[in-house]
Amino acid sequence: MCGIWALFGSDECLSVQCLSAMKIAHRGPDAFRFENVNGFTNCCFGFHRLAVVDQLYGMQPIRVKKFPYLWLCYNGEIYNFKQLQKQFGFDFQTLVDGEVILHLYNRGGIEQTASMLDGVFAFILLDTANRKVFLARDTYGVRPLFKVLTDDGFLGVCSEAKGLINLKHSTSLCSKVEPFLPGHYEVLDLKPSGKVASVELVKFHSCKDEPLHVACDTVEALPSGFDLETVKSNIRILFENAVRKRLMAHRRIGCLLSGGLDSSLVAAVLLKLMKEVSVNYPLQTFAIGMENSPDLLAARKVAAHIGSEHHEVILSTEEGIQAIEEVIFSLETYDITTIRASIGMYLVSKYIRKKTDSVVIFSGEGSDELTQGYIYFHKAPSPEEAAEESERLLKELYLFDVLRADRTTAAHGLELRVPFLDHRFTSYYLSLPAELRIPKNGIEKYLLRLSFEDSNLLPKEILWRPKEAFSDGIASVKKSWFSILQDYIDQQVDDLLLEKAAEKYPFNPPKTKESYYYRQIFEKHYSGRSSWLPHYWMPRWVKATDPSARTLKHYKSDTQE
């Protein structure tokens, strides 16, 4: 996890523009480099490093003797770099996983490069010999990327939008800063002036398609067919493989553990595999919640069962409320459920950074979208519509849960790993018949639970624990986190302000005091940027006015029979 930043064709002094690069310093606390491009005095790269792989040669932009005309700035991990090196006979100069991007590009161009990378990534690749700039981002946007491109060809690129919004440019204030779309690459021509012109934006991978890099995966072809035993076995094999490949790190590995199915499965499989490869330290797991909250109690059970070194962070109402503004600044969104769920994750990440030496943090993001874990899936009109909704949620992850998971951890210099969003695992799960993937017997994620039922990885009551929204599981059953927030916000926002909300904020107008309060804070830091959020996250097929699972009729807490 790092912070990348680049400018092409800047009219302003680069030493002034460089101050914008410092807005993402939290993403790379270990080192910083600012480098001009030879022959293009108005083009430069900025890089904030979190050293996780190859601590000696990992500074960026990466340049190697074999390709002196290539400059690479990337944020991410390429899990199959050794397999690609072996398959194509690449001669590496460093131990950096990202070096493989240079070799792949030299061998087969940008399309093959993006398609063959098994991992999470956002990168800027400059080819001065052919005068091209390439941008690319992984399938689910696990690693963030934003860009701004003016009419006269000034390009700014950054891991977070906050590194671009204050850039200066001669023609005007900078044009629209927008997220770079996941699963896409863009080709731009680089002019002698350093300015650029976009040539094409190409979608190189869809979540349903089996990725090209399967050809050099460590797991061979799986048995075909949709009989239940085969499917369950394939799910277990691919999920274990997803966790195994993510063990690649020179820094200590930890795991977030809410006590729900997803994070518990990740923690259990992770600990099992760490033992298999003889990692010489215990796995640290981390839970956050108010005293005796459902998540804390469930996480305690899981940690005892798997034998992790468990840490509990007790969240106070005051601490949670005080964190709201810095959380919104980190997130760059005003989405209600994203902010609620981020507060706990932001504070547990703060604890991990201050009190432990764990840096590479595993988490359960992506499972709810992939395996139909949200409670409203019980109301889906048909298996086919549930499958379509699952795909929609996966495509929008970069706006919601993946955004939350990246920003809350990156704010404290941690690197997140999300095995449920493994390309091969997700494409296999989405290839299964729609009927197999829906909730059954009143239980969401039924197929995933069933696949691990005989594994003894988790206690039965955890494996079959009903879904908790993260923002609700950290509170007590009697009073959820969102109702605690609303009680506080009720005193902060006047009724009259809410009545006139649609006049003040015509795009995505706030409908509640809580959403008005968040929007005010967002506009304070990112005025006029409301289009970054195309719509609020809300459940479907139910008449919901609030995204919290606790407001839905078929919500069950652990204390109910």
Dist CA 237 CA 232 (whole Å): 9
- Tell me, yes or no, whether 432 lies in a domain: yes
Domain containing residue 24? 3-203
Ranking 26-35, 235-244, 402-411, 434-443 by mean pLDDT, the lowest is 26-35
| 97 has binding-site annotation | yes
329 and 470 housed in the same domain: yes
Q: Whose CA is closest to 546, among 512, 518, 500? A: 512
| CB crowding 455-486: b at 16 or more within 10 Å, else e | eebbbeebbebbbbbbbbbbbbbeebbbbbbe
Amino acid, single-letter form, for residue 202: V
115 and 237 housed in the same domain: no
| 363 has binding-site annotation | yes
User: Is 70 exceeded by the pLDDT of residue 276?
Assistant: yes
125 and 165 housed in the same domain: yes
- Tell me, yes or no, whether 278 lies in a domain: yes
SS3 sequence of 213-244: HHHHCCCCCCCCCCCHHHHHHHHHHHHHHHHH
Which distant-in-sequence residues (6+ apart) come within 8 Å of 167 by Cβ? Answer: 7, 10, 12, 17, 20, 148, 156, 174
- Tell me, yes or no, whether 536 lies in a domain: no
- Tell me, yes or no, whether 480 lies in a domain: yes
Dist CA 362 CA 36 (whole Å): 35
**Residue 179 belongs to domain with CATH number:** 3.60.20.10
| 288 has binding-site annotation | yes
Q: Is 255 a catalytic residue?
A: no
User: Is 50 exceeded by the pLDDT of residue 561?
Assistant: no
Amino acid, single-letter form, for residue 160: E
Query: How far is residue 536 from each of residues 178, 361, 377, measured CA to CA in Å?
Result: 17, 27, 18
Provide the phi-psi class of 467: left if phi over 0, else alpha when psi is between -120 and 50, else beta: beta
Query: How is 95-109 classified by DSSP, letter by letter?
Result: S-TTHHHHHHHHHHH
Coil, helix or strand for 29? strand
User: Is 70 exceeded by the pLDDT of residue 207?
Assistant: yes
188 and 235 housed in the same domain: no
What pLDDT, on a 0 to 100 scale, did the predictor assign at position 28? Answer: 85
Q: What is the mean pLDDT of residues 21-50?
A: 86
Query: How is 375-430 classified by DSSP, letter by letter?
Result: GGGGG-SSHHHHHHHHHHHHHTGGGTHHHHHHHHHHTTT-EEE-GGG-HHHHHHHH
- Tell me, yes or no, whether 143 lies in a domain: yes
Residue of 2, 43, 73, 255 marked catalytic:
2
Q: What pLDDT band is residue 41 in, cutting at 50, 70 and 90? A: confident
- Tell me, yes or no, whether 130 lies in a domain: yes
How many CB atoms are located within 10 Å of the residue 253 CB? 22
* Mean pLDDT of the residues in the chain: 91
463 and 323 housed in the same domain: yes
486 and 433 housed in the same domain: yes
The residue among 446, 463, 490 that closes a domain is 490
What are 309-344's pLDDT values in tens digits? 999 999 888 999 999 999 999 999 999 999 999 999
The residue among 490, 507, 541 that closes a domain is 490
164 and 244 housed in the same domain: no
Do 167 and 20 form a contact (C-beta atoms < 8 A)? yes
Q: How many domains does the chain have?
A: 2
Burial class (CB in 10 A: 0-12, 13-18, 19+), 301: middle
User: Is 80 exceeded by the pLDDT of residue 404?
Assistant: yes
What are 185-204's pLDDT values in tens digits? 999 999 999 999 999 999 99
What are 61-70's pLDDT values in tens digits? 999 999 999 9
Query: How far is residue 552 from each of residues 28, 347, 510, 542, measured CA to CA in Å?
Result: 40, 27, 21, 8
Dist CA 7 CA 23 (whole Å): 15
Q: What is the mean pLDDT of residues 26-47?
A: 87
User: Is 60 exceeded by the pLDDT of residue 559?
Assistant: no
266 and 346 housed in the same domain: yes
In the block, which residue shows the tokens 């990440």? 349
- Tell me, yes or no, whether 35 lies in a domain: yes
13 and 129 housed in the same domain: yes
What are 94-126's pLDDT values in tens digits? 989 999 999 999 999 999 999 999 999 999 999
**Residue 388 belongs to domain with CATH number:** 3.40.50.620
371 and 408 housed in the same domain: yes
- Tell me, yes or no, whether 509 lies in a domain: no
The residue among 457, 490, 523 that closes a domain is 490
Q: How large a percentage of the chain has pLDDT more than 70?
A: 93
Is the four-CA dihedral 242, 247, 251, 253 of positive or negative sign?
positive
250 and 346 housed in the same domain: yes
In 138-203, the DSSP E strands lie at: 146-149, 155-158, 178-179, 184-190, 196-203
168 and 53 housed in the same domain: yes
Which distant-in-sequence residues (6+ apart) come within 8 Å of 400 by Cβ? Answer: 335, 337, 338, 537
Dist CA 240 CA 277 (whole Å): 13
User: Is 70 exceeded by the pLDDT of residue 474?
Assistant: no
What pLDDT, on a 0 to 100 scale, did the predictor assign at position 29? Answer: 78
Burial class (CB in 10 A: 0-12, 13-18, 19+), 277: exposed
User: Is 60 exceeded by the pLDDT of residue 502?
Assistant: yes
Dist CA 76 CA 417 (whole Å): 10
Dist CA 361 CA 342 (whole Å): 16
What pLDDT, on a 0 to 100 scale, did the predictor assign at position 57? Answer: 66
Tokens of 171: 């023609």
Q: What is the mean pLDDT of residues 264-290?
A: 96
What pLDDT, on a 0 to 100 scale, did the predictor assign at position 518? Answer: 97
Do 518 and 537 form a contact (C-beta atoms < 8 A)? no
Instruction: Enter the pTM of the model.
Output: 0.94
Cα angle 465, 302, 355 (rounded to 5 degrees) comes to: 125
Do 287 and 257 form a contact (C-beta atoms < 8 A)? yes
Which distant-in-sequence residues (6+ apart) come within 8 Å of 226 by Cβ? Answer: 432, 433, 436
User: Is 60 exceeded by the pLDDT of residue 173?
Assistant: no
